[in-house]
Amino acid sequence: MIDKPFPNKTKIWENQAIQREELLNFLDFADPDDYIFFSDPDEIVRPELLKDFELKKKYGIFMQDCFNYKFNLFNPYESPWEGTRVAKKKNIKSIDNLRQKIKSKNLNYSFFRIDKEKNIEIFKNGGWHFNNILTPKEISLKLRTFAHSEFSGEEFSDVKIIQEKIDKRLDLFNRGHNYKVIKFDEKFPKYLIKNIKQYKNWIC
């Protein structure tokens, strides 16, 4: 938690990076060889992958199925989603670097692109990215306050427009994406399956 003001004249994305780096100040308890996982709040690693976890490369990326609005409203356009990152503490230059520079596409660059980190392990079927599992009002607030300020205008953040997109299973950002309902079964987190009645309004 940041208890001091942001520097003057910083931009939204710079503020996000500052917030992420502040996390490192709370890792004094961790040893250099401890694994540090970083996820956005809506990215969940498949638990069985964490049992006896061992990272064979310098960095790791968990490729996750992407869902929007409902737990089983599948987004094929952004799946697999490059979500949770992992590295040993000693190899983390910064949290923002871990998120922004450690990407699967780096593996496609030639040997000569030494500016691209390629010591990366890919974890397929690595979990779930449950994006915007929120009410239209909550999504509107998110769009008006998060780092992608280009989507803060009424054409995106109006509650009625958002509700219509949810009803029609359309992408928030007018990219022509249509999401599809898939069967809610054992492929989903066990917690959701056990508490399906509690989350019935978030399942198609």
Q: Which two tokens stand for residue 177?
A: 């994406």
Neighbouring CB atoms inside 10 A of 165's CB total 20
Q: Which helix (H) or strand (E) holds 196?
A: none
- Quick one: average pLDDT of 47-62? 97
Indicate the pTM of the whole model: 0.88
Beta partners for residue 63, in sequence order? 82
* C-alpha dist (Å) from residue 66 to 77, 79, 101, 132, 178: 9, 5, 21, 11, 13
Tokens of 137: 């009002």
7 pLDDT more than 90: no
- What is the tens place of the pLDDT at every residue in 92-126? 988 888 999 999 999 999 989 999 999 999 999 99
